[in-house]
Amino acid sequence: MPLDNVDEEEEELFGEMYLTDNQKAFEEVEDEYMEKKEEMMSKEYTRNKTLFEENGYVVVARDFVSHEMADMFTQYALFEMVNSEEPNRDEQVPGAYSNYANNLAETLLIGLKGEVEGHTGKTLIPTYSYYRVYKAGDVLEDHKDRPACEISATIMMGYRHAPNSEDGTEIDGIDMYNWALHGYVNGEKKYFPHSTSGAVIYKGCELEHGRDKFNVGEYSYQVQLFLHYVDADGPYAKEWAFDKRPSVGLKRETIARVC
């Protein structure tokens, strides 16, 4: 049966003809779950908007992205690092592998904009994406970000925390290790721990932030994805939209070639 001239309702009925009883039952449960999830997320967004305005940050402890996406992105980032001709080119964290405006990361920059908007209550314009593969011993010095990072999300996509034999860290202890971002709220240093697939959303230009030494053993890593935006109604929107590129998704070398 060709579907070229079938409307949406007819197409849905056509698909149901081939569902098993288990699949039908699952869809019913899934529909109930999604209704409840939307109700709870509405409450979560309301809470987080207030916290974001009051403190300059909000922690989404888990499930900012799906675990499947986090796992896939982590493996992708490691492959990219291994195959890069310049594996250690990060200026802010010397020796760490990083990637600006990567195709997959830029896709997530667009795709997750609505989530960041929901937690902040802001209408956002994407500026750029970035990811970094931290290694043992890395430190992210305390800093504030440039205007293109007015509102940012840092997402822990995946990690391997091996025990540090140099300082005697036990294997049981490393299982509980959380290498968290920290920030200074009203002059007080606070840590923002979260699980894999969780995120910290923060005002990058206002909140001084950093990471202490990555105190883990050899062959450890932590993959962090950064999604940066500006407030569409804020002071940086006109100048810093797309990080001064013609569009999201364009690398600097592409711009030079096609524009």
The CA-atom distances, in angstroms, between 16 and each of 24, 30, 75 are 8, 15, 35
Q: How far apart are CA 169 and CA 2, in angstroms?
A: 63
Q: pTM value? A: 0.85
Contact 240, 148 (CB under 8 A): yes
Pinpoint the alpha helices (H) of 90-210: 103-111, 113-120, 171-174
60-107 tens-digit pLDDT: 999 999 999 999 999 999 999 999 887 667 889 999 999 999 999 999
pLDDT band at 172 (very low <50, low <70, confident <90, very high): very low
Q: Rounded to whole angstroms, how far apart are CA atoms 189 and 227?
A: 23
**The pLDDT of residue 164:** 78
> What is residue 40's predicted lDDT score, i.e. its pLDDT?
87
- Say whether pLDDT at 171 is over 90: no
pLDDT over 60 at 129, yes or no: yes
Alpha helices in 94-209 (DSSP H): 103-111, 113-120, 171-174
Residue matched to tokens 């909140």: 207
Which tens digits make up the pLDDT trace of 51-61?
Answer: 999 999 999 99
pLDDT tops 90 at residue 259? no
Residue 30: the pLDDT is 82
Q: Output the pLDDT for position 233.
A: 97
Domain ranges of the chain: 1-55, 56-258
Amino acid sitting at position 53 = E
* Rounded distance between C-alpha atoms, residue 162 and residue 242, angstroms: 37
Protein fold of 56-258: Jelly Rolls (2.60.120)
The per-residue pLDDT for 126 is 98
